[in-house]
Structure 1
Amino acid sequence: MRRAVAEPLVRVEAATLAYRDRRVLDRVDLALRAGETLALLGPNGAGKTSLTRLVAGRLAPQSGTVRVGGADPFRVRAARCAIGWVPQEIALYPRLTVAENLGVFAQLSGLARRQRAGAVAEAMALTDIAAVARRPVGLLSGGYQRRVNIAASLMGRPGLVLLDEPTQGVDLTARAAIHAVLGRLREAGTAILIATHDFAEAERLADRVAFMAQGRIAREGALADLLAHLRAGAPEHEVALSLPATPAGEAALRRAGFSPSDTPLTWRAATRAGQGLDGAALLGSLRAQGVSANEVRVRAPGLEALYLDALAPRPADGPLRLTGAVR
């Protein structure tokens, strides 16, 4: 007997949104189940934040539907109360202590007075911020402020938490602490939707990923399945430079099959590069052409390679490929 698949907690169907006659979301479909973490990735302006705001009930689509727990979060207050929204900006009162901030948000979430102290204590324990409960938020480090920001979203004990760039601007220690918080939420059965530019973060946290561009989902699916399919092909080559490439060096790198990454000192090729040369021979060839290459790395493709493939221009009419699997 086949086991029934749980109905998604979040379901977005054919959602379209426009600002001043500019379409920012174009018939987007998305689903998210309880206990699942979905990472939204895409360039600036792709529609990640707009989609997150639709799911949060801050906006309503011009067409299509958004449902959280079967209800429209824009029109049904109870549905919005079941959602924890963590914006990219720190949305706290800097002169109030951590505990005072959380007490305010507990009240705003509609909790009865007798429930607030327990909710505050529970959120502080989950986010590991009890040690700074009596300190003003404005005096905390950026990492602690972001954890308090997350704690504030948990006052209503939501089944869904939405986060927009939750580790932006924090150091590695704070980043690890925030990731631990999200891991504990997931273990508790909370559904998590996270918009991020950080490939390592998404690869570490997400069960599923959705790549967005031009207001559409270009590709979506289980991260493990998408990576397994990609890694069945050629390994990824990466060149690390000691100095940014000169115009002649850039030309040599492109002839060898490389493209610039998010840093000027790293160039990548999603498929085997260098006309079949091994790593040492390829390094020597690039250096002979004036490229300041420190090393050539050969490794299994990661999430960035999957992202670049998903958002690469397509032949013919050039529309983004809408699919849930790598073809």
Structure 2
Amino acid sequence: MGAPEEQAPLVEIAGAALSYRGRQVLAGIDLAVPAGRTLALLGPNGAGKTSLMRLVAGRLPPDAGRVRVGGADPFRVHAARRAIGWVPQEIALYPRLTVAENLGVFAQLAGIGRRARGAAVEAALALTDIADVARRPVGLLSGGYQRRVNIAASLMGRPRLVLLDEPTQGVDLAARAAIHAVLGRLREDGTAILLATHDFAEAERLADHVAFVAGGRIVRAGALAELLARIRSGAPEHEVALALPPDPAAEAALRRAGFAPVDTGLTWRASGRGGHILDGAALLGALRRQGVPVNEVRVRAPGLDALYLDALQSRAGDPVPIPPRPLRAAR
């Protein structure tokens, strides 16, 4: 994964390691983010995603290796940190101030002079599409609006790189779409984005590149389109939705057919590499004849969650739980 030969990546991480209270949280991280591209970090809780973002933001120095943003060390070089917009998972705003007042404070912190602050605030309001709530106190806004204001605050210094940690956590579908639109406009403006998320659909929609993090290491990384093309070259995945939890005999039948549970035990999935030759309808009949309480069989091309499973299972050799994802159904 990298930028064109004539242009060095905006973010370069080489051999970065970090320990916290005697425990290693990052080890030998190598990663690059080209200018104007979006890279999604995916991995289980505690994998090191947020720690890696803190290194890139210049909040922490690595114990070993190096981190560069625009060719400079963001921990030691103030100009490098000013080129970075940091959007934490928590809402980092003043709830009693209005949206515009909050942005004015962050503009001042970003070093924008008084005469230029008004224009900077107006630009951020327009980019994040929140001008309609500019005069409302932040504490009275919905969670989705607060997250958009959080993003706007990070843009006051016109950063070349924006870091976002779970930017749509806890928001409804309309707010998620609005936040995605903001990130799309940032990318169109040439801003690089580093995004930590647990949402595979979000990552597939927004990212050009992905990196899977596990145990403080990058276990796989690359251009999303290329990684998906490789995994989709085989047979499609099958997923079964059960009417009730399987009894031991039904569970044994599912496992013999190559299925494994992926959520509460009511959804089981088998990868296309399992050698399935039955179509959805035939598989439905075969499982029902063995006493499996199947409501529906879904067939789809493998997605980012399949890449996640493959990357983490290749590393650990153990099953990895993944959240369910809306699929197209084949009855």
TM-score of the alignment, normalized to the shorter chain, above 0.5:
yes
Distance 1:147 1:278 in 2: 44
Contact persistence 1:92–1:101 (CA under 8 A):
yes
Letter in 1 for 2:74: P
Aligned to 2:218: 217
- Distance across 2 between alignment mates of 1:292 and 1:149: 46
Match of 1:321 in 2: none
Output the CA distance in 1 between the equivalents of 2:273 and 2:282. 13
CA gap of 1:274–1:247, structure 2 versus 1, over 3 A, is: farther
| 2:183 counterpart residue number | 182
Matched, 1:147 2:148: yes
State the alpha-carbon separation in 1 of the partners of residues 246 and 71 from structure 2: 53
Determine if contact 1:243/1:265 at 8 Å carries over to the other structure.
yes
State TM-score, norm by structure 1.
Answer: 0.92
Deviations 1:231-262 (A, max 9, x none): 11111111122334444433322221112224
Provide, for residues 205-253 of structure 1, a one-character-per-residue CA deviation record: whole Å limited to 9, x for no partner.
Answer: 0000001100100100000011111111111111122334444433322
Q: Is the 8 A contact 2:234 2:273 kept in 1?
A: no
Matching residue of 1:28: 29
Secondary structure of 1:310's counterpart equals helix
The alpha-carbon deviation at position 158 of structure 1 amounts to: 0.2
CA contact (8 A) 1:37 1:205 kept: yes
- 227-236 or 196-205: bigger deviation: 227-236
- Residue 163 of structure 1 aligns to a residue whose secondary structure is strand
Quote the offset at 1:313 in angstroms.
3.9
Find the aligned partners of 2:275 and 2:15 in 1 and give their Cα distance: 43
**Which moves more between the two structures, 307-316 or 142-151?**
307-316
Residues 192 and 314 of structure 1: is their aligned pair in 2 closer, same or farther, counting only changes over 3 Å? closer
Q: 1:108 Cα shift?
A: 1.1
C-alpha distance 268-5 of structure 1, shift in aligned 2 (>3 A): farther
Output the CA distance in 2 between the equivalents of 1:244 and 1:176.
34
2:97 and 2:78 map into 1 onto residues whose CA distance is 27
Whether the aligned pair in 1 keeps the contact of 2:219 and 2:315 (CA below 8 Å) is: no
Instruction: Kindly report which structure 2 residues correspond to 1:100-179, keeping only aligned pairs within 5 A, or say none.
Output: 100-179=101-180
In the TM superposition, 1:310-321 aligns within 5 A as 310-313=311-314
Query: Alpha-carbon deviations, 1:170-208, whole Å to 9, x = none?
Result: 111100000000000000000000000000000000000
Of 183-192 and 90-99, deviating more is 90-99
| Offset of residue 8 of structure 1 | 0.5
- The DSSP-based 3-state class of the residue aligned with 1:105 is helix
Give 1:76 shift: 1.1
Corresponding residue for residue 325 of structure 2: none
Equivalent pair of 1:85/1:153 in contact (CA under 8 Å): yes
Take 1:134 and 1:31, find their aligned partners in 2: how far apart are those partners?
40
How many pairs were matched up?
315
Counterpart Cα distance in 2 of 1:175 and 1:248 = 42
For the structure 1 residues 264 and 104, does the alpha-carbon distance in structure 2 shift closer, same or farther, using more than 3 Å as the test? Answer: farther
Aligned to 1:58: 59
Aligned to 1:89: 90
Identity of aligned residues (%): 77
1:194 equivalenced with 2:195 (yes/no): yes
Alpha-carbon distance in 1 for matches of 2:92, 2:283: 50
Deviation at 1:100, TM superposition (A): 0.8
SS of alignment partner, residue 280 of structure 1:
helix
Residue number in structure 1 paired with 2:323: none
Counterpart in the other structure of 2:284: 283
**CA separation of 1:249 and 1:142: change in aligned 2, threshold 3 A:** farther
Q: Does 1:18 align with 2:22?
A: no
Q: Structure 2 CA distance, aligned partners of 1:234 and 1:77?
A: 51
Give the conservation status (yes or no) of the 8 Å contact 1:146–1:166: yes
CA distance in 1, matches of 2:241, 2:274: 14
Change (3 A) 1:111 1:198: same
Aligned to 1:323: none
Q: Match of 2:302, as an amino acid?
A: P
Aligned-partner SS, 2:272: coil
SS of the residue 2:117 aligns to? helix
List alignment gaps of at least 5 residues for structure 2.
319-331
Q: Distance in 2 between matches of 1:33 and 1:315?
A: 30
Any idea what SS the aligned residue of 1:94 has?
coil
The answer as to whether partners of 1:256 and 1:274 remain within 8 angstroms in 2 is no
- 1:278 CA drift (Å): 2.6
> 1:94: how far off?
1.0
What secondary structure is seen at the aligned counterpart in 1 of 2:210? strand
CA RMSD across the alignment: 1.8
CA offset at residue 281 of structure 1? 2.3
Q: Secondary structure at the match of 2:12?
A: strand
